[in-house]
Amino acid sequence: MQLCQIDTVVYFQITDPKLYTYGVERPLSAIENLTATTLRNIIGDMTVDETLTSRDIINTKMRQELDDATDPWGIKVNRVELKSILPPNDIRIAMEKEMKAEREKRAKILEAQATRESAILVAEGEKQSAILRAEAEKEVKIKEAEGKAQAILEIQKAEAEAIKILNEAKPTKEILALKSFTTFEKVADGKSTKILIPSEIQNLAGFMQAIKEIK
């Protein structure tokens, strides 16, 4: 069975030289063996992932247990650091594959998000363009309608003014007949080949002749 290779550093100080000298045989070797045993006990209850991601927790537990165990030896453990943790080769390969898969997953998620955001921006741009085009077309139609309405209004005003002036001038029957004839000319406007003339202006030729003689 392959085990994790862990490099550990223990910082300690001698608090009682007598106990350090006589309390334990070969204190440095004793601390080293105690450190290895304590470390195996702590990480034995942890998964590989927890071991790799819980260094601070392991360091704290190690310092407390080593400090308690070495107190009778005249030694105080101040700090413990796990410098490196190297998992077994098969676990390391599996972890590398997992990390690679996770990176690829994140890359695909970011790509999908970018594509989605790009599509949203394009759609939003097309929507705004369509709105602007519709508003422009609407404005043009409104202006055209207003122009036609204004033209009709001006024509109506002009006709009303002409009728007013004509009424004020108290025109004769002959003038009214001439006005009617002019109206018929406009109605024809080169587009009609047959014009029905009312009986009251059928003798208009004689009237026109009389106007010429007056001039």
Work out the percent of the chain whose per-residue pLDDT is above 90: 10
- How is residue 156 written in tokens? 């109506």
- Please check whether residue 62 is in contact with residue 80, taking contact to mean a CB–CB distance below 8 angstroms: yes
What crossing angle do the helices spanning 55-70 and 27-43 adopt, rounded to 10°? Answer: 140
- Determine the straight-line distance between the first and last CA of the chain, rounded to whole angstroms: 136
Model pLDDT for residues 98-140, shown as the tens digit of each residue: 778 888 888 889 889 888 888 888 888 888 888 888 888 888 8
**pLDDT confidence of residue 121:** 87
Contacts of 42 (CB under 8 A, 6+ apart): 58, 61, 62, 65
Instruction: Show the low-confidence residues of the chain (pLDDT under 70).
Output: 1-4, 87-88, 90-92, 94-95, 166-215
**pLDDT confidence of residue 99:** 76
**pLDDT confidence of residue 58:** 87
Conformational region of residue 190, where left means phi above 0, alpha means psi within -120 to 50, and beta covers everything else: left
What crossing angle do the helices spanning 173-188 and 204-214 adopt, rounded to 10°? Answer: 110
**pLDDT confidence of residue 25:** 85
C-alpha angle 172/155/161, rounded to 5°? 40
**pLDDT confidence of residue 212:** 47
**pLDDT confidence of residue 153:** 83
**pLDDT confidence of residue 214:** 47
- How is residue 95 written in tokens? 């972890």
Model pLDDT for residues 144-157, shown as the tens digit of each residue: 888 888 888 888 88
